[in-house]
Structure 1
């Protein structure tokens, strides 16, 4: 070493390079994963600025009541989409279950019998979907659920004679149309159902099976996971959710009508996709599905408050769905990139 030169740094020569702290990528991942919640907050902020009525407790109660049916259907639709499926029949099932409940109430004025009829109708349609898909070896759930959509809609029209039937038990009316102060009872039902599904998917083996089947069905079969039973179970859950949604809808309007649930399946699917679930399966959370449902409900409520033309509203909803899905695609790409950065940093 010559005079005046600096001795080599031991940390540079002998020691390995310092490890980068993974805190940055981890924080970025957490921020990215809150994308649906962030979009909802932006929409709420915009609605509150454009309409001073929006944040009143009365209007918030209306938003929650109007979103309850979509939220119930979305929570169950999430399970179907996570397994790489889709259920197009839930809207018609809502109508069929409501009509069945109204007709039973006319003959047997028993709240228990009516509720069991509505829930049983939903379960029956869901079971038909699952069994036909699995043991009928149909190529895609789109086909079987499209068929049951048509059958359920036709049955609802035939049984009701094309007309709504008035009258529902008191418990149904309370559940669908009344509230505690400004908080609707239907919101409490949505919260209970969401909590139940959250526990089922995070605390039970069945929940892990659902994500495994959606992530890689062939690997799930090799791992001895009962794929067929899992698929049937998620469609049964979706049908049951349609029965619950029928109770809420029939309670709000004190009737059973074959027009109930029109396009509700599309709202539920849109809510799940806006919430970040993937049609490729294996991804999606209950919380984000609820956020997606709330987003749709808030947008519709804001447009009503702002007197947006009824013919324009579907266009706005469609554009928002496209934007939300595109943002989710970008979010997914950023998430994968930061996951790689986090792995390298670790």
Structure 2
């Protein structure tokens, strides 16, 4: 009779000691520990006067012990970059990298807002008008399609360069990084574009960025987990040669992956410019690095073939809590940048450690 650890097939046994937690569970535990750490600092640091970061025990204010205002700030500040990180996640899973998403946000925002302007501002012709009267008060679908089309074009160029010329993804997207930054500055010679229509402004109003992030995260979760597209993405990232021999059109798939990632970055630009009611050439600075950091913190492997949308969403929350926590304890901005850089390096080191353990085990 087989013992309790035997599968009964080929003598294989089940060793409970080698069970691995889902990586998402590890990220969630890290999130809880980080929250507790900042809560402890709020009680320990003398100048904090026993403040709490995410809790408010004056229940008469919101009817809950949670600090609703701060929680809204945390999820709002990660939602737009979180949209970018969803696209970056599938790029990294496929074995690539995308450094162009941040400048793409700036360029797409300038283009989108140009087609989303209203005609009259305080009874006068829009002083920030980019085009003539034909471009005033256009249906909201027009700027949306303009932004998504621009994102698709940039992604198609990125993917084609990587798939057909064999240029390393780092170099191809770094070049596009500079091109997009140049486009954003050239579009209006560096002048901001403002005064959108009410319909366009509604896209990013209130908590809508969070809603868009949540909806897109659910959509990408199902796509990556239950569709042929997702399976092919993981297969290419795990072993590109094996994927090619199994019949997957690797080149076409890579182009599609980068197109989707860039379209998500362009949509983030739509939401960001709508939320801010203006577009500026410098928008999106560091967004590409923050998006990659969210994915890596969430367990996406930089070597490709491993990671999940759920992990990236949790990684985004970890990132947001850390940013908000640094502000909460009144850490100077330059120290925050140093700390975030250290966290990104630490996440990559942890990813390498996980890879080594996986190969050894």
TM-score, length-scaled by structure 2 = 0.82
Report the alpha carbon displacement of residue 217 of structure 1 after superposing the two structures with TM.
0.7
CA distance in 2, matches of 1:29, 1:67: 29
Could you list the per-position Cα deviations for residues 208-247 of structure 1 after superposition, in whole angstroms to 9, with x for gaps in the alignment? 1111111111111111111111101110011111111101
Q: Which residue of 1 aligns with 2:73?
A: 62
Q: Runs (4+) of structure 1 moved beyond 6 Å? A: 15-18
CA distance in 1, matches of 2:136, 2:26: 49
1:95/1:257 contact within 8 Å kept: yes
- Counterpart selection for 2:187 from 150, 155, 159: 159
The reply to whether residue 290 of structure 1 matches residue 289 of structure 2 is no
Report the alpha carbon displacement of residue 332 of structure 1 after superposing the two structures with TM.
4.8
Q: Which residue of 2 aligns with 1:25?
A: 17
Query: Structure 1 pair 169/25, CA: closer, same or farther in 2 (3 Å)?
Result: farther
CA distance in 2, matches of 1:16, 1:62: 56
Q: Which residue of 1 aligns with 2:126?
A: none
Deviates more, 1:208-217 or 1:111-120: 111-120
Which has more helix, going by share of residues?
Answer: 1
Structure 2 unpaired stretches of 5+: 7-12, 43-50, 56-66, 118-134
CA distance in 1, matches of 2:330, 2:346: 23
Q: Which residue of 2 aligns with 1:44?
A: 35
Pairing of 1:198-237 with structure 2 (within 5 A):
198-237=221-260
CA distance in 1, matches of 2:285, 2:312: 20
- Match of 2:273, SS? helix
Could you list the per-position Cα deviations for residues 253-291 of structure 1 after superposition, in whole angstroms to 9, with x for gaps in the alignment? 101111110110000111111111112110110011111
Report the alpha carbon displacement of residue 90 of structure 1 after superposing the two structures with TM.
0.6
Q: Which residue of 2 aligns with 1:150?
A: 178
TM-score, length-scaled by structure 1 = 0.85
Across the two proteins, how many residue pairs are aligned to each other? 317
Larger relative contact order (Cα-Cα within 8 Å, sequence gap ≥ 6): 1
Pairing of 1:113-128 with structure 2 (within 5 A):
113-128=142-157
CA distance in 2, matches of 1:198, 1:43: 25
Report the alpha carbon displacement of residue 173 of structure 1 after superposing the two structures with TM.
2.6
Q: Which structure: larger Rg?
A: 1
- Match of 2:334, SS? coil
Query: Structure 1 pair 165/189, CA: closer, same or farther in 2 (3 Å)?
Result: same
The reply to whether residue 173 of structure 1 matches residue 201 of structure 2 is yes
Query: Structure 1 pair 25/335, CA: closer, same or farther in 2 (3 Å)?
Result: farther
Could you list the per-position Cα deviations for residues 163-203 of structure 1 after superposition, in whole angstroms to 9, with x for gaps in the alignment? 2111223344333231xxxxx22111111111111111111
Deviates more, 1:316-325 or 1:75-84: 316-325
CA distance in 2, matches of 1:64, 1:328: 25
Query: Structure 1 pair 217/331, CA: closer, same or farther in 2 (3 Å)?
Result: closer
The reply to whether residue 130 of structure 1 matches residue 169 of structure 2 is no
Structure 1 unpaired stretches of 5+: 1-14, 179-183, 341-346
Could you list the per-position Cα deviations for residues 60-113 of structure 1 after superposition, in whole angstroms to 9, with x for gaps in the alignment? 111111101221111110111111111111111111111001222242322221
Pairing of 1:284-323 with structure 2 (within 5 A):
284-323=307-346
Query: Alpha carbon RMSD of aligned pairs, Å?
Result: 2.1
- Match of 1:312, SS? helix
